[in-house]
Amino acid sequence: MREGNLEMRRADRDRLKVIHEVMKGHLTQAAGGGHLGISERQVRRLTRRVREEGDAGVLHRGRGRSSNRRIPEKTLERIRKELKRPEWSDFGPTYAQEQLRQLGYEVGRETVRKLQIELGLRQARRRREIHRERRVRRECFGELVQMDTSIHNWLEGRGEEELVLVGMIDDAGSRMRARFYRGDTSLANLDLLRRWTQEFGRPVSLYVDKASHFKVNRPRWRLEEELEDRTPQTQIERAMGELGTEVIWANSPEAKGRVERLFGTLQDRLVKGMRLKGICRLEEANRYLEEEFLPEWESRWTVQAKSGVDAHRPVYRGMDLLSIFSVREERTVKRDYTVQWKNRTFQITKQAHPGGLRGGKVEVERRVDGTLTLRFKAGYLEFVEIEARSSGRRRPAPELKGAAKAQPLQGEEWSL
């Protein structure tokens, strides 16, 4: 402020005009307070100060002074040192603020952002006016669930495993479930779908892209499909049909924006969280995701759905989820009651063979729990794996559990 001149902001000039109207009796103190958004008591204080000090009485007393909440310079230097740590180099302001709080520094997000710009760790961005319209959320939990896979350098080179993250997010409230796998396979997606169904029930609709494990993209049907007038289906389509869940295919990445934004958040925060924990294995990554990250997501990023109705349908008795969420392949039973599958031979053991078994079609079910079954019509067959025909020796039969007669599945083809 220079002598003889009073520098005032527009808000101060507007406030001064209202105070003058109150002093002249043109406005009551209550009306003046309503115009300024302050109490009558504060109006009286401002009126008294203007009478005593002149127009400068409307200026804030702290103008030109350092804030009482100013962070000491020594503390700021320690914070700058923390922000320069190599493992923090790509932290955003919010995540960096949270990590600083864990170290005992109470600092605001905007302060962290300014310090990062000062240190050259990020650049100030100019905001552009872009008009976007988001699709309105569904009203009920379970009415629409989006699903996708994120292929990313999740472990940042730690360990020897390369992982993918399969995720599902509810459209109404952003409730999320995700899990790491060794590959983006049909079995991996089926496993997460089974976990969601076991926990919440059968969703009304599943929103996915047109990847080959979701949608058959072949231009022509196979001969047997044409002869049987059967529409080709993926394993996931077939499973969702058995559950009564509609599959909706997105025509662009923008159409499934909610799950895309989810992966944007996870590729930022989840990667850094696992970095700080030193995670380098699949089991450790899934444990951190389920025990630490998902509870934080539930408390911070989920929202209340418009309707309190849960649209999930129950899993009725008789719905075998392990069978529904399996990868099924059809094979022909030979005359010696053997079945060939992936260079393996399975011998159907002596039992009450149902009619039409020899030469008939069976389904080999590869299940998400690591077992293998042979299904014929509505029942399951007992079987053992035998070695090559030349040796004629049988491998010892593993212990069979339950009515499904499932056998453990070993080898590379089983690696969720």
Contact of 324 with 242, CB cutoff 8 Å: yes
The CATH number given to whatever domain includes residue 276 is 3.30.420.10
Q: 101 in a domain, yes or no?
A: yes
Residue 42, both tokens: 């504060």
10-23 and 29-36 helices, crossing angle to 10°: 170
338 and 279, same structural domain?
no
Q: Chain centroid to CA 271: how far?
A: 13
238 and 167, same structural domain?
yes
CA dihedral angle for residue 59, residue 62, residue 65, residue 69, rounded to 10 degrees: -150
Single-letter amino acid code for the residue at 34: G
Q: 138 in a domain, yes or no?
A: no
Pairing assessment for the beta strands 205-208 and 145-151 based on DSSP bridges: parallel
Task: List the chain pLDDT tens, one digit each, 416 residues.
Answer: 444 566 777 777 778 888 888 888 888 888 888 878 889 898 898 888 888 888 777 777 666 666 667 788 888 888 888 888 888 888 888 898 899 889 888 888 888 888 888 888 888 777 665 545 567 889 999 999 999 999 999 999 998 789 999 999 999 999 999 999 999 999 999 999 999 999 999 999 999 998 888 888 765 555 554 555 557 789 999 999 999 999 998 877 777 788 989 999 999 999 999 999 999 999 999 999 999 999 999 999 999 999 999 999 999 988 999 999 999 999 999 988 899 999 999 999 877 677 788 889 999 999 999 899 999 988 899 999 988 665 445 555 444 433 345 666 554 444 56
267 and 173, same structural domain?
yes
Q: 197 in a domain, yes or no?
A: yes
Contact of 279 with 158, CB cutoff 8 Å: yes
151 and 103, same structural domain?
no
Residue 395, both tokens: 């491998």
Neighbour count for residue 140 (Cβ, 10 Å): 20
293 and 157, same structural domain?
yes
- In angstroms, the CA 219 to CA 291 distance is 44
- In angstroms, the CA 307 to CA 293 distance is 26
Q: 415 in a domain, yes or no?
A: no
110 and 24, same structural domain?
no
Q: Chain centroid to CA 388: how far?
A: 46
Structural domain of 100: 76-118
pLDDT at 412: 42
151 and 284, same structural domain?
yes
Q: 286 in a domain, yes or no?
A: yes
Residue from 231, 261, 266, 262 nearest 247 by CA: 231
Q: 139 in a domain, yes or no?
A: no
Using left for φ > 0, alpha for ψ between -120 and 50, and beta otherwise, residue 392 falls in: left
280 and 154, same structural domain?
yes
53 and 82, same structural domain?
no
271 and 183, same structural domain?
yes
pLDDT at 2: 44
Pairing assessment for the beta strands 246-249 and 205-208 based on DSSP bridges: parallel
29-36 and 40-53 helices, crossing angle to 10°: 100
154 and 267, same structural domain?
yes
388 and 353, same structural domain?
yes
Q: How many domains does the chain have?
A: 4
Residue from 14, 132, 111, 37 nearest 69 by CA: 111
Q: 355 in a domain, yes or no?
A: yes
Q: 321 in a domain, yes or no?
A: no
